[in-house]
Every structure is written in C-alpha cells, then in structure tokens.
Amino acid sequence: MEVVSAYTDKDCYLVGERLCVRVDASIDGKPSASRVAYVEISDTLSMYAQCMVALRDGHGWAEIPLPTTMHSGCYQLSAYTRVSQRLGTDAICRSIIGVINADKLSRLDDITIIPSDSCQTPHALFRYKAGDTVCIPLPETDASGCCVSITKGGISANLSVCKPSVQPTTEGGMTAYCPEVEGHIVRARVASGTSAKVMTTRLSLIGKTALLYDGKRQPDGSYLYFTSGISGNQPVLVTAYDSLGRSIPMELVSPYQSMLPKRLPKLTVYCQEKALRERAAIARQQASSDANAPDASLVHSIKLMSATPDYFYDLDEYTQMKDVREMLLEFIKGIRKEKQHGVSLLYTYNPETRSYAKMPALILLDGMPIYDADDLLNYDAHLIKYVQIYSGTFHFGSSSCCGVISFITRKGRLANYKLKDGEQLMSYAFPQDHPNPANGLASKYHTTTWYPMVKAKTLTITMPSAEGLYQMTVQGKDPTGHILRTAYAIKVVK
C-alpha cells in the first residue's frame, strides 16, 4: 500500500507568505513509482491554494504562495498521488495549518489571538552568535532523511493534532484510475454546448519547441495527454478537429480532487504585537514580489530534442521582409511549397541526400503545429526572431513527418497570431520540479532556511545575521516508520 507523507516548514502562516512543503510517497518503505503528488489547502467551503509536486525516487518539494483572499483560521493540507487517491481517504496525508490575515481580521474568523511576550517555545533552548556556523546532530531517520527549517519567533499557534474527515468530490481529477508513473497527465474535454465529434486532438506547449502530445479518449468522453519532463507554469494550446478539419473548442479539467474537511479546529495564536506587525509587512512585500515576478515560461528552447538544425536564421539581421510568404520566397533556403487536396504543405531539403523529402514537414509557430501553411503566409515577419529547419524523420505521438520548420516569435506567445474559432491559449501549472538544495533554501522572509531533505547524521548551519528568537524544526520518520517531529528554540545574540 502506498503511503504519502507531507512536511511543511512551519505550522502557522500569514497570507502572502510562501508555504514550503515536502512530499514523500513510498510502498513498504521503498520509493513509490508515482511521479506526481498533489497538495491542496482548503477550509470547509473551498480550496484556496494548490500545487503539483514532481517526485524523484519518491520525494519532491514545492513552494505554495498563500493568497491574500484567505481568512484567518485553520486549514487542511491534503497530499496525495493518483495511487493513494484510489485507495481512499485513509491513504491521503492530511494535516492542519494555521493562517492569519492580519489586514482583514474579523469577528467571524474562527481564531483567538492571545497577546503574549513569552510565546510558546520548545523547552530546549540553545544560544548562538549571529553568523556563527554550527554543527547540529540530527535524530536517526529512515532512508528518506529528514527536513529541517529555521523560522523566526514571536508567533506560535496551538494546533490540534487531528485527521478531519473529508468530503471528496469528483468535479476534478481523474474519473478512472490512471497512475502517473512517467509524468503528469493533463485532462481535457469538449467544451460544454458542443456536440461535434473529435477525430484528432493534441496538446502543444507554446514557447517550447516541438512538445506535442496526442490525446487519448476515455470512456467518460474526456481526453488524456501523457506528458513528461515539463514543470512550472506553461502556456498551452489544446487543439481538436472533426472529420472535416473544423476546429472544436476544448477546455482543461482541473486535476485536483477538492477534498474539503467537514470540520476544522479553532486556531489559537500566541503572538507579540510587534512581531505580528513586522511579519505582516514582510508578507505583503513577498506577495507583491510574487505578483510582479517575471514569467519564466517566456524562456523558450531553440533546439528540437537533441537534433541540430540544418539551417538556422536569426531575423534580427534581416528586417526587409514584410511577411512569411516573402520570407520563404526570397530568404529562407531549403523549403518547397506544394498544395494537396486544398492544403498548402512545406517540404524540407535534405543536404545529405541532396533532395527534397517525400513527406511534408511539420510546421511550428512557438511550438504550435500549423497544418495549412497558408494560415502562416500573411504573418508579420517582424514578429519572428528565429527560424530553424530540420531534416530527417521525426515522430510526434502517432504522427510522423519528414523535417520540422520551426518559427519562434520574439515573445514566444504567438504574438498577434489569429487562432481559429474554438482555439484558446491557456496557462497551465505543471508540477514544480526543484532539485534538493545542498546548502538549504535561504530566504529573507520568515522562514530563514529550509532544507527539504537531509540524509546526514549532522547538519552544518550558519546562524541568521539578525539577533532574536528562532525555532528549528526537524521532521521525518524514524527507522520504524513512525512520524518524527522535534523542535528546538534558538536564541541568536550579537
């Protein structure tokens, strides 16, 4: 039976902060084959935050920004995989966290704040000088190791240790059992109000070169796209066509189960007023920083798998072309255009055989397949940054092509390209895939250091530079598989 465990960097958060969570999935003490875990943060009415975590050898970690729309009170954190989800609610890891919205405290919130200059702290207290490097012994754990966090003091919560019963819904997620042992499975369905029959459907990543996935129809009428090696927020386009080549609108289905607790305990918080004000100001700063962060999905590849393009053009050097038609006629080498059954196709020239391919090439614009070259001929050439031409045979899903012609725009987002009716560019959050930081994840915010996975018997840590009271928490499982959680109070002095 698969067992899922989740460990967070602390128990109590402020809205705007980031929650760090590590997820483990194992079977009889050995890493599970599951490659994706799901984390949900919910109250009794709705789910407020969620993320997917890529698992490597049964382990993975992620950061979840807590939205400022959350109210003060207790929330349930649920962690599961497709396998544990199938086993039922008893196989799902659930824990309680506290959240404080210092800017919108209300009498309706199920929270009691007790002003206290002596917040609840662990009995063990260690004193270190600011900036000192110390070696701290760690408790014995199982093979998965432990996670260690250092957080600032001043606020502590009294959380009930309980496993509330959940009310799983089938609105999202998979209606049929489909374990994710290679990567994340994206699910889509024909948009409501549409009765057309889908003949072909594909999911393509925009801004990435040649990442195409064929959809597989399921008994419930939805389609699954089996992806692998993709992480973070990515712009995607799901295309579907009927037997006459007409576009059919599709919509993505949430992969989350929306597991809501029937009840939650009351949150009791002990805090110093000054510490609460300072931490709330820092949380607002972090929320603003997250909102204005650059979009990492705009960074696009200019390679097709491991292949090297036969021709590569950087259009910064050429600005005289008006459109793609003129570009193909006067500038781009190694391409021939033919029309078959009313559809314009492009063929690539293979320098090794000194001949044009017998099969048409796959045309891509920012990773989106273009099935009729005429749809691209009037596109503004000034919006294109690169053109890459590959010869040879390539396989994408169930289709094959002789050569690939890849157009990459300057923004990587199909700039000014008119999509067909029913097609929509969407943002999709794939699993977070973070390597284990050897020296911990340093932060200037409330959690000063986070070590997702430590397998050594000791840990060398540099103490924070600011004096004050801190808490170090060590979590994991002991060699017998029981949950282990140890907290130490650390006083940093000048």
Superfamily of domain 1-128+154-280+417-436: Macroglobulin (MG2) domain (2.60.40.1930)
Domain 301-411: CATH class, spelled out: mainly beta
* pLDDT score of 72: 94
On the 0-12 / 13-18 / 19+ scale of CB atoms within 10 A, 26 is buried
What does the alpha-carbon distance between residue 378 and residue 322 come to, in Å, rounded to a whole number? 9
How is the chain split into domains, by residue range? 1-128+154-280+417-436, 301-411
Nearest Cα neighbor of 17 from 221, 155, 217 is 155
* pLDDT score of 444: 63
**Residue 19 to residues 10, 14, 338, Cα–Cα distance (Å):** 8, 10, 55
> Which amino acid, residue 19?
L
* pLDDT score of 70: 94
* pLDDT score of 170: 44
* pLDDT by 10s per residue, the chain, length 494: 888 999 999 999 999 999 999 999 999 888 999 999 999 999 999 999 999 999 999 999 999 999 999 999 999 999 999 999 888 777 889 999 999 998 888 877 888 888 876 555 555 678 899 989 999 899 898 888 899 999 988 788 877 555 555 555 444 555 556 889 999 999 999 998 888 899 999 999 887 566 889 999 999 999 999 999 899 998 899 999 888 888 899 999 999 988 899 999 999 888 888 888 888 888 888 888 777 765 544 444 444 555 688 888 888 766 678 899 988 888 888 899 999 888 899 999 888 888 899 899 999 998 888 989 999 999 999 899 889 888 888 877 677 889 899 999 988 888 889 888 878 888 899 999 998 887 778 776 788 889 999 999 999 988 888 888 888 999 999 888 888 988 888 889 98
* pLDDT score of 379: 93
* pLDDT score of 299: 40
What does the alpha-carbon distance between residue 344 and residue 482 come to, in Å, rounded to a whole number? 64
- Cβ(301)–Cβ(292) below 8 Å: no
What does the alpha-carbon distance between residue 210 and residue 180 come to, in Å, rounded to a whole number? 22
- Cβ(237)–Cβ(427) below 8 Å: no
* Identical fold between 1-128+154-280+417-436 and 301-411: no
